[in-house]
Amino acid sequence: MIFFFLLHFIFLRINAKSNVLYSSTITVFLSVLTVTLLSYFLVAGLFSSPESYAVAAAGSVIAAILACGLYTFLGPATADRSLACQLMVFLSGRPGAECRREEIYGRFDPADFIEKRIEEFRKENIIEDRIDSIVLTDKGKRIAAVYIFLLRSLGLRERDDYREYFSGN
């Protein structure tokens, strides 16, 4: 798992423009293959039989793929692709984590997306809806900080124009 994170970090830093899911898939398979081969040469002889090593290796491979896959879809993919994440990151970068509703509508389109997210965030106590403005709560700021950390540490970027997410524009 440590090898995966190291390889993933390096791969994304070198290939900053690459697709996050593609690069994560490559690093999952490369890290699992590398660690499995290393374990075969370094510790396979410590097992009572080749079959017991094979069972242990197969279990480790499956667990590693599941853990790395879960991380990929809950971490970088969400931070890079999620509109909700991008909305929180945008708000957290504003003075006082506050922005006029009209400015958000100008950056994110269509309005239905924004209203739906505002309602979801309000119910989860992520934002405070002040009718003419929206403010991140402390909980929202903490969640945004996690996404900002993921974006920056993986060399990803905050979207300059959120309209790129909507196919009609």
pLDDT of the residue at 90: 84
For the chain, give the mean pLDDT: 78
State the CB neighbour count (10 A cutoff) for residue 60: 14
- Given a cut of 60, is residue 15 above it in pLDDT? yes
* 16-51 per-position pLDDT tens digit: 655 666 777 778 888 888 888 888 888 888 889 989
Determine if residue 135 is left, alpha or beta; phi over 0 gives left, psi from -120 to 50 gives alpha, anything else beta.
Answer: beta
Does residue 163 have a pLDDT over 60?
Answer: no
CA angle 27, 28, 33 (to 5 degrees): 95
3-state helix, strand, coil in the chain (%, to 5): 75, 5, 20
Q: How confident is the model at residue 127 (pLDDT cuts 50, 70, 90)?
A: very high
The full set of domains in the chain, from first to last, is 2-74 (no CATH), 83-165 (1.10.10.10)
This prediction has a pTM of: 0.44
| pLDDT higher than 50, residue 168 | no
Q: What is the pLDDT of residues 87-114, one digit of tens each?
A: 888 888 889 999 988 888 777 666 566 7
